Structure 1
């Protein structure tokens, strides 16, 4: 009987730190890699790769907007992020420097995109998706 109790305590002692570490990772901690990947892909005009970070409802218009334009991205960077709704929503402000061929004039646009943390189940980590439409470029 005492051996079983010791085994239970041992198993509990081993599992508790693992459970505690899993609880420490908040959705906000997972936003950085998703946002970094989005900015890198858009900077290099990997429109298909960048579109994977958009919700299905806004993805098609994003791909249409960037597929036929003679757009050249000079710089695309994240300026700041504000989290809300228990770190499950984020407002991210970006700076896009670009030119539209044949013009060589570099234009600068600052805009906000809304991100949302989407989970399929409590047992698997969720993913961040952009839920607002990408603003039109003048």
Structure 2
């Protein structure tokens, strides 16, 4: 009986993979690894749109990206992250703040999937 209970305790929850994924996305965005961050989007059109937005902004300097909150939905198959990106566009040195939300979906154990959580919403328009 003890072995069965301890085995159940070791089973990871679906949400356990979301937090590292969200923080990895934020870090990749922070260090301008847009191709790496794009791998979290669930389809090719969203990936390309995301990379294209930032490819056009050569004067963009990102000073910080923070995950503010992660809200898991009741079923545990979706979540919303609220993030804050601080940046400036050269030649300006005034730091601006861009707060945005991203909807995430649990992908399960898809064959050939690198990630278990994907960003289901398009990246919001950059100000």
Distance (Å, rounded) in 2 between the aligned partners of 1:49 and 1:17: 39
2:26 to 23, 39, 52: 39
TM value normalised by structure 1: 0.78
> Which structure has the highest helix share of the two?
1
Distance (Å, rounded) in 2 between the aligned partners of 1:126 and 1:58: 16
List structure 1 segments (4+ residues) > 4 angstroms apart after TM superposition: 16-19
Unmatched segments (≥5 aa) in structure 2: none
Is residue 137 from structure 1 mapped to residue 95 from structure 2 by the alignment?
Answer: no
Over residues 53-108 of structure 1, what are the superposed CA-to-partner deviations in whole Å (9 max), with x where a residue is unaligned?
A: 11114111001001121211111000011111421100100011011122211110
Distance (Å, rounded) in 1 between the aligned partners of 2:47 and 2:24: 16
Instruction: Report SS of the residue matched to 1:41.
Output: helix
Structure with max Cα Rg: 1
Is residue 29 from structure 1 mapped to residue 19 from structure 2 by the alignment?
Answer: no
